[in-house]
Amino acid sequence: MTTPLPAGLSLSVALQEEYTRVLTPGALAFIAELHRRFNAGRVELLARREAEQARLDAGALPDFLPETSSIRTGEWKIAPLPPELQDRRVEITGPVDRKMVINALNSGAKIFMADFEDATSPSWDNVMQGQLNLMDAVRRTISLEGGGKQYRLNETVATLLVRPRGLHLPEKHLTVDGEAISGALFDFGLYAYHNTHERLRQGLGTHFYLPKLESHLEARWWNEVFAFTEQTLGVPVGTLRATVLIETILAAFEMHEILYELREHAAGLNCGRWDYIFSYIKKLRSFDDRILPDRAQVTMSTPMMRNYSRLAIQTCHKRGAAAVGGMSAFIPVKNDPVANERAFAQVRADKEREAGDGHDGTWVAHPGMVQLATEVFDRLMPTPNQIASSKQQDLLVSAAELLTPPSGTITEQGVRTNINVGIQYLAAWLEGRGAVPIHNLMEDAATAEISRAQLWQWAHHGVRLTDGQPLTPKRLDALFSEELASLGPDFAQAGALFHEVATRSPLAEFLTLSAYEQLD
Ligand SMILES: CC(=O)SCCNC(=O)CCNC(=O)[C@H](O)C(C)(C)COP(=O)(O)OP(=O)(O)OC[C@H]1O[C@@H](n2cnc3c(N)ncnc32)[C@H](O)[C@@H]1OP(=O)(O)O
Ligand SMILES: O=CC(=O)O
Ligand SMILES: [Mg+2]
């Protein structure tokens, strides 16, 4: 680096010249300050997650909190939504790669969520390039030449939202006072530092998606981070806005409280269905009466998943917030018209359910799905959102209804698919690709976590498969060997790692934590 790092900071990689535009002395000082003020709180929140897991492992079930009932029953609303977040009917998501950022902003979707979380493998280059891409996107200077094509922004582009990494993930390349900085503070802090003033100049706020929260105390922590950032940058309160992913089973019990904590900064909630399923398995792993069937059978139409999404809609609308739906994993299928037609039909049905139930918008994984989702929401939601006329006002959902698992079967094919997909995904992730098409479905960190956690849960409880035989650890190992052999020797590293995280007890908290040790 040409200029010395601020005191207390250390980088484990040589800083390339182009990254000095991101890691300026001012930006480094700002994220170091975020770390010094907020990292101890983050560490406490992670310890609280562990304590909560121990309580569940001892037989307690999640429930609505008695100590916050006045927040749930009270009359209050979040701050009014800024104009650019009032119509969110279709949101495209994707990794922070340069071509994807341009394509997503040009896709015709109202919103683009640039993702440092589930869709990004957080190698140093990916996160640094991602920050550069977003800086250029905000300033409308982003362009690219590749594959014989020229990429630049259209006149009208989607509104940009950024999802930083979750609280659990470190950014190992930068330490502050000897501690790895949190990936969440790193991604959030750099994006906010470099872009908030420029966006304000364009009449726009700076918007975030917040992933994987497990309690309203985590929302409180984020709210303090937002407030401190606004104060430091000298911008009005509410310039920074958060849409919180409800993607853990515990957060489903604290939706009002999460919005309440963030009420000056909140914009909405989103149903992150894939992590939600993962969280259900992980948190309730000790209960042998809460085992989920094959991954393909845990759809949004099952009572458990639909109750969760309807409760999110009701909660948001009561509080003046947008209730955004989730991601169908079906993507366009090249060179197979029948499979392609099936994928579009699946996405159409998913979006019709969401719009019909009262969601104000939805996610799509691919530009090819934007038109379809827009057509569905335009047809079923003629207003920019349906907050004022909520379809779920009279809904009553009990704790039991959020927790009762869907019925279904567990098959050897389901076990094999989980192994096969998990290994293929991890191999891609270790090569720097965080979202990949596998067997015609979008796979990312959250979907791979379901595959991993299911294998662990099924073998841990020795569930009987549809062939009448139990899934013993020995049988699981044999299936691992067969699937690995079918994939070939290139998958040995990913295979060993996936086997480890799918079988080790206690169940590892996140597969990306183990995989990150092998990245870069
Ligand atoms: C559980 C969750 O967290 S969901 C949210 C996180 N997950 C995601 O964001 C997944 C986003 N989607 C993707 O990454 C991709 O669509 C994949 C990996 C699923 C499929 O990728 P591919 O098979 O490479 O897509 P495909 O070859 O059909 O792409 C065609 C074009 O669309 C573009 N494209 C595909 N998906 C996206 C996207 N999400 N955003 C922007 N552009 C995209 C490609 O860049 C390509 O552009 P080009 O024609 O200019 O070269
Ligand atoms: O982040 C989204 C999810 O489904 O997980
Ligand atoms: Mg997720």
Residues 151-162 pLDDT 10s: 999 999 999 999
* CA 19 – CA 23 distance, rounded (Å): 6
Decide if 232 contacts 256 (C-beta within 8 A): no
pLDDT at 104 over 60: yes
Token pair for residue 251?
């957060």
The domain ranges of the chain are 25-328+392-401, 409-517
Nearest residue (CA) to ligand 2, atom 1: 272
Q: Average pLDDT in the 181-187 region?
A: 98
C-alpha to C-alpha distance for 255 and 260, rounded to whole angstroms:
9
Sign of CA dihedral 369, 370, 375, 379: positive
For every residue of 236-289, which 3-state class applies, written as one string? CCCCEEEEEEECCCCHHHHHHHHHHHCCCCEEEEEECHHHHHHHHHHHCCCCCC
Residue to substitute in 214, 327, 425 for testing ligand 2 pocket (most ligand atoms within 8 angstroms of CB): 327
pLDDT band at 3 (very low <50, low <70, confident <90, very high): low
The protein residues having their C-beta less than 5 angstroms from ligand 3 (an ion) are 118, 247, 272, 275, 446
- Phi and psi at 510, nearest 5°, equal -145, 135
| Mean pLDDT of all residues belonging to the chain | 97
First to last CA, the chain: 20
Looking at residue 205, what is its pLDDT?
Answer: 98
Supply the residue whose CA is at minimum distance from atom 18 of ligand 1: 436
**Ligand 3 centroid vs 68 CA: distance in angstroms?**
26
Mean pLDDT, residues 113-128 taken together = 98
Q: For 386-421, how does the pLDDT look when each residue is reduced to its tens digit (9 = 90+)?
A: 999 999 999 999 999 999 999 999 999 999 999 999
What's the rounded mean pLDDT across residues 111-123?
A: 98
Identify the residue whose C-alpha is closest to ligand 2 atom 2: 272
Ligand 1 center from residue 184 Cα (angstroms): 23
Instruction: Count other C-beta atoms under 10 Å from residue 372's C-beta.
Output: 17
Query: pTM here?
Result: 0.98
ipTM of the complex: 0.99
pLDDT exceeds cutoff 60 at 1: no
CATH class of 25-328+392-401: alpha beta
What's the gap in Å between 248 CA and the centre of ligand 2?
10
Nearest ligand to the CA atom of 343? 1
Query: What is the number of other CB atoms lying within 10 angstroms of the CB of residue 384?
Result: 16
Nearest ligand to the CA of 444 is 1
pLDDT for the residue numbered 366: 98
**What is the dotted CATH code of the domain comprising 409-517?**
1.20.1220.12
Residues annotated as catalytic are 163, 444
In the predicted structure, residue 95 carries a pLDDT above the cut 50: yes
pLDDT of 416-452, one tens digit each? 999 999 999 999 999 999 999 999 999 999 999 999 9
Per-residue pLDDT, 4: 79
The set of protein residues with a Cβ atom below 6 angstroms from ligand 2 is 118, 245, 247, 272-275, 326-327, 446
Nearest CA residue ID for atom 3, ligand 2: 272
Query: And the tokens for 162?
Result: 């950024």
For the CA of 271, the nearest atom of ligand 2 = 4
Peptide linkage before 293 cis (omega within 30 of 0): no
Give residue-wise pLDDT tens across range 9-63.
999 999 999 999 999 999 999 999 999 999 999 999 999 999 999 999 999 999 9
25-328+392-401 and 409-517: identical CATH topology = no
What's the average model confidence in pLDDT over 224-229? 99
Condensed to tens digits (0 to 9), the pLDDT of residues 256-295 reads: 999 999 999 999 999 999 999 999 999 999 999 999 999 9
Contact present, 143 and 151 (Cβ < 8 Å): yes
